Amino acid sequence: MATTQIFQQYITPLLEGRRSICRTIITEALDNGIEPQRLYQDVVWPAMAQVDNLYREDRINIAAEHMATRINRTVADHLQSRLPRAAKNGKRILITCTECEAEEISAQMCADLFEAEGWEVYFLGAGIPRDEMGSLVGQLQPEMMMIVGSKPTDVPEVRQMIDHIREINSCPTMNVLVSGGVFNRAQGLWREVKADFFAETAAEALQIAGKADPRKAEVRPVDAPKKRRRRRKPPLLAQLEGEC
């Protein structure tokens, strides 16, 4: 059975909060030879995106959103244990997200998939102060930092965190990748927060990270004087800040 059919079977009981049916659909798909990566990417990830869209459009209430989110977490945990493991590739990725359970599940899924592909994964979740994030980046020297999901109100903080990491030269060669949330809905917003890459899905994130070259950054000594100039906020970022 194609994963598109599995998705259609999965989404209705998911929105109804029917845990056992959702688990059975996924278990039967695994038993029938569907790879867990495909179920992550073609069923659970788009199901979470659909739940988020339906909730934002007031087509489901908060109770339905909460039930669906928790079912997806259970299914993601089950799939994680079935993922085949590639050999270590020597690369590190740091993954963070915003203060939202649905976004944390998306970030957790990305962490699982990157780990299965051989990356050394550091999954932080949400709520890390930017100074601690900068220190951790400096300590780990990862090839990639991934920020998963963001509400419009979180975007200025994402921009400030990236600015902070760049300004203190924590890891000049590290690329920043953003995915999900408002970045999927506002075309070009990823450039305005100074990310290096954007991926709409977990599958795209894996492809982009695997091919990304080290960031070509000019290293400025930490104690060098900063140029004072008035910064004009990019249009999308200014609009989002105005809505906060």
User: If you average pLDDT over every residue of the chain, what do you get?
Assistant: 89
pLDDT of residue 172: 95
- Quick one: DSSP state of residue 89? -
Give bridge partners of residue 122 from the DSSP assignment. 94
State the average pLDDT over residues 182-201. 94
Question: Would you say residue 85 has pLDDT above 90?
Answer: yes
Helix (H, G, I), strand (E, B) or coil at 192: helix
Domains and CATH numbers, the chain: 3-80 (1.10.1240.10), 92-211 (3.40.50.280)
Residue 63 is which amino acid?
A
For 124, what's the count of Cα atoms within 13 Å in the CB-facing half-sphere?
A: 22
Q: Which of 157, 136, 130, 47 is nearest to 94 (CA)?
A: 136
Helix intervals (H) in the chain? 3-16, 19-31, 36-39, 45-56, 62-80, 101-116, 130-140, 155-167, 182-185, 189-192, 202-211, 235-243
Q: How buried is residue 124: exposed, middle or buried, by Cβ count under 10 Å (0-12/13-18/19+)?
A: middle
Question: Would you say residue 223 has pLDDT above 80?
Answer: no
Q: What CA–CA distance (Å, rounded) separates 19 from 62?
A: 17
Question: Would you say residue 28 has pLDDT above 90?
Answer: yes
Q: Which of 117, 194, 116, 183 is nearest to 154 (CA)?
A: 183
Question: Would you say residue 190 has pLDDT above 90?
Answer: yes
Q: What CA–CA distance (Å, rounded) separates 121 from 91?
A: 9
Q: What CA–CA distance (Å, rounded) separates 87 from 100?
A: 32
Q: pLDDT per residue over 137-149, tens digit each?
A: 999 999 999 999 8
